[in-house]
Amino acid sequence: MSGLEQLIRCSYRNANKIVVSIFVERWHPETNTFHMPFGEMTITLDDVSYILGIHVPGAAIAPLEDDSDTNFELLVNYLGVTDEEATEQLH
């Protein structure tokens, strides 16, 4: 029912260990990017959706920098966060 049945076929056993090792060496957690010879690269939710074959419905929601009221509304109405949790996250 969750739509995540595609994850059953995903396993570390199916991964190319050399390719994974190369990506791990190039990962920089400070910037959440891979540093490649041609520049920086990041993996998005859209990339993961495509690679794993999982449909991700809906629009992306990003917090607005200086609008606490709108951010509170986004957290509570669209992400199902309680009022207390939203207040805690925004302060």
Together in a domain, 40 and 65: no
Together in a domain, 2 and 43: yes
Question: What is d(CA 51, CA 33) in angstroms, rounded to the nearest whole number?
Answer: 18
Together in a domain, 2 and 40: yes
Together in a domain, 27 and 52: yes
Range of the domain at 82: 61-91
Neighbour-count burial for 10-42, b at 16+ CB within 10 Å, e otherwise: eeeeeeeeeeeeeeeeeeeeeeeebeeeeeeee
Contact 74, 63 (CB under 8 A): yes
pLDDT, residue 2, reads 64
Residues near 34 by Cβ (< 8 Å), separated by ≥ 6?
Answer: 23, 26, 27, 28, 40, 41, 42, 43
- Quote the number of domains for the chain: 2
Together in a domain, 10 and 40: yes
Each residue's pLDDT expressed in tens, for the chain with a length of 91 residues: 666 676 777 766 667 788 888 888 898 888 888 888 888 888 888 888 887 777 777 666 666 676 778 878 878 887 777 888 888 777 7
